């Protein structure tokens, strides 16, 4: 059985329903015929469940029960379907809202998992799924889109932006060319093995980033110490502060405190939120991560369409007269 969430309207994240269903029932509810409405009014679903009394969001995510591949480019529905059938896997596949086989095949593939995954571990399972796809499903062929070469063949042509644990998807839209297929009696991929591989690679990369950050910190501190007794230039001190705010959690935490930020815990990492965006001056979507090694070191505004500002945390400190 699998726990999923249904959202009647994506713009009303506080209205959600949790359902415990078999794989076939998930297929039925995700692909059932519904009235054809504008995309943003379509029913949505998520393979994640959320804390009761909250709303859909990564900070409220509990666990994920199903793998979802979102494919928007280069791969054809029939090609992926045939490979998954050859691999004798359990899955279902359906076309998505913008599918048009005369232009591009757009579809989703949903796989069962043996056990639900805690939201804080989801990133490794998602990366593991990408590795699995690269190893088993990437199709280096000449298709109806012409000859694909070099970087165009990379598995990254999948939608890798949907890696957040609380991600929701639109249910299937039934149009004249829409398609859906279910195979429930096949094997289940050992997603845990691929997640472990992804986690080991990720941790090795973090260790290397920490080592390089520590070496650079020591070098810069030694440089400033050598300048003791002499006039330290504004440029030297500014570069030092910028570097420390790009690599050191303690410095970023202190800046968050001085800016009066709220620290929001999430599966992706703790975020400092609520400072005034230097571009649009709004405070409701501005943030930076406290841990710059595990996450992006930049400060950002979440109003992507109307603002989309991003810059180093050092710059944020400087324009607020903390440097």
- What percentage of the chain reaches a pLDDT higher than 90? 34
Tens-place pLDDT, residues 91-135 = 999 988 775 665 677 899 999 999 999 988 898 999 889 888 888
Q: Which whole number is the average pLDDT over 219-224? A: 75
Tens-place pLDDT, residues 293-322 = 888 889 999 888 899 899 999 999 999 888
Closest C-alpha to 116, from 184, 43, 18, 207: 18
Q: Which whole number is the average pLDDT over 188-202? A: 90
Rounded CA-CA distance 3/44 in Å is 15
- What percentage of the chain reaches a pLDDT higher than 70? 86
Decide: 83 and 71 in contact? Cβ < 8 Å. Answer: no
Please list the residues that pair with 272 across neighbouring strands: 263, 288
Please state the domain extents for the chain. 2-189, 205-319
Mean pLDDT for the chain overall: 83
Please list the residues that pair with 20 across neighbouring strands: 3
> Has residue 161 got a pLDDT over 60?
yes
Burial class (CB in 10 A: 0-12, 13-18, 19+), 29: middle
Q: Which whole number is the average pLDDT over 19-31? A: 92
The pLDDT score that the predictor gives to residue 173 is: 84
* pTM metric for this prediction: 0.72
> What tokens does 199 get?
């986690």
Q: Which whole number is the average pLDDT over 59-71? A: 90
Decide: 275 and 269 in contact? Cβ < 8 Å. Answer: no
Q: Which whole number is the average pLDDT over 200-221? A: 84
Q: Residue 241: phi, psi to the nearest 5?
A: -65, -40
Q: Which of 60-64, 95-99, 131-135, 270-274 has the least mean pLDDT? A: 95-99
Rounded CA-CA distance 272/199 in Å is 25
The pLDDT score that the predictor gives to residue 305 is: 84
The 3-state DSSP class for residue 112 equals: strand
């Amino acid at each position: 059985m699998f726990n999923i969430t249904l959202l009647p309207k994506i713009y009303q994240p506080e209205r959600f329903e949790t359902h415990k269903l078999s794989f076939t029932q998930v297929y039925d509810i995700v692909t059932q015929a519904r009235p054809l409405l504008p995309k943003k009014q379509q029913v949505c679903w998520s393979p994640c469940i959320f804390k009761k009394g909250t709303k859909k969001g990564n900070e409220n995510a509990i666990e994920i029960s199903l793998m979802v591949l979102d494919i928007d480019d280069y791969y054809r529905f029939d090609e992926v379907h045939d490979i998954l059938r050859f691999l004798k896997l359990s899955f279902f596949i359906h076309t998505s809202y913008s599918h048009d086989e005369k232009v591009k095949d757009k579809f989703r593939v949903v796989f069962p998992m043996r056990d639900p995954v805690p939201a804080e571990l989801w990133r490794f399972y998602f990366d593991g799924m990408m590795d699995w796809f690269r190893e088993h499903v990437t199709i280096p062929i000449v298709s109806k889109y012409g000859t694909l070469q070099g970087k165009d063949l990379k598995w990254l042509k999948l939608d890798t932006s949907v890696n957040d644990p609380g991600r929701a998807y639109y249910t299937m839209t039934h149009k004249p060319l829409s398609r859906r297929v279910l195979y429930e009696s096949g094997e289940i991929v050992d997603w845990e093995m691929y997640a472990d591989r992804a986690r080991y690679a990720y941790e090795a990369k973090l260790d290397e980033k920490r080592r390089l950050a520590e070496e650079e910190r020591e070098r810069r501190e030694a440089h400033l110490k050598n300048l003791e007794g002499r006039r330290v230039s504004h440029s030297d001190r500014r570069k030092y502060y910028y570097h420390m705010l790009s690599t050191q959690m303690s410095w970023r935490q202190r800046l968050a405190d001085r800016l009066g930020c709220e620290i929001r815990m999430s599966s992706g990492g703790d975020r400092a939120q609520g400072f005034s965006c230097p571009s649009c001056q709004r405070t409701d979507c501005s943030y930076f991560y406290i841990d710059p090694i595990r996450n992006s070191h930049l400060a950002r505004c979440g109003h992507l369409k109307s603002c989309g500002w991003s810059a180093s945390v050092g710059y944020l400190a400087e324009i607020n007269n903390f440097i």
